Amino acid sequence: MRETETPREPAGGLEPESELEPAGELELGKVAGPGGVEPAAPGLSLHHDLDRAVTVRWRGTEILRYVYRPWEPRLESPRPYFHPLRTLDGALVSLYRPHDHTWHKGISWALSHVGTENFWGGRTYLRGEGYRQLDNNGTQNHVRFGRLAVTTEPAVTGQVDVVDVVEDLEWITQGGDVIIAERRAFTVRAHPDLGAWQLTYSTAMRSTSATPLAFGSPTTKGREAAGYSGLFWRGPRSFSDGVVVTPDGTGGDERMGWQGPWLGYVGRHDGAGTASTVVFVDHTSNHCHPTKWFVRTGVFAAVCPAPFYDVEHELAPGGTLTLSYDVIVADGPRGVAGCERLVGRAGDTAAAGDTAAAVADVADVADVADA
The answer for 259, left when phi > 0, alpha when psi is -120 to 50, beta otherwise, is: beta
Residue 331 lies in a domain: yes
Residue 22 lies in a domain: no
What CATH number has the domain bearing residue 58?
2.70.98
Which residues make Cβ contacts (< 8 Å) with residue 41, sequence separation at least 6? 57, 59, 60
Residue 11 lies in a domain: no
Residue 142 lies in a domain: yes
Quickly count: other Cβ atoms within 10 Å of residue 2's Cβ. Answer: 4
pLDDT of residue 1: 45
Residue 23 lies in a domain: no
pLDDT of residue 366: 44
pLDDT of residue 28: 75
Which residues make Cβ contacts (< 8 Å) with residue 106, sequence separation at least 6? 81, 82, 83, 84, 85, 94, 95, 96, 233, 234
Residue 118 lies in a domain: yes
pLDDT of residue 10: 46
Tell me how far CA of residue 19 lies from CA of 16, 115, 353, in angstroms: 6, 84, 70
Residue 28 lies in a domain: no
Residue 149 lies in a domain: yes
Mean pLDDT by 10 residues, the chain (371 residues): 47 50 69 72 95 97 98 98 98 98 98 98 98 98 98 84 97 98 98 97 98 98 98 98 98 98 98 96 98 97 98 98 98 98 90 47 47 39
Range of the domain at 365: 49-370
Exposed/middle/buried for residue 193 (C-beta within 10 Å: 0-12, 13-18, 19+) = exposed
Question: How do strand 158-172 and strand 139-155 relate by DSSP bridges?
Answer: antiparallel
Count structural domains, the chain: 1
CA contacts within 13 A on the Cβ side of 227: 22
The answer to whether the pTM exceeds 0.85 is: yes
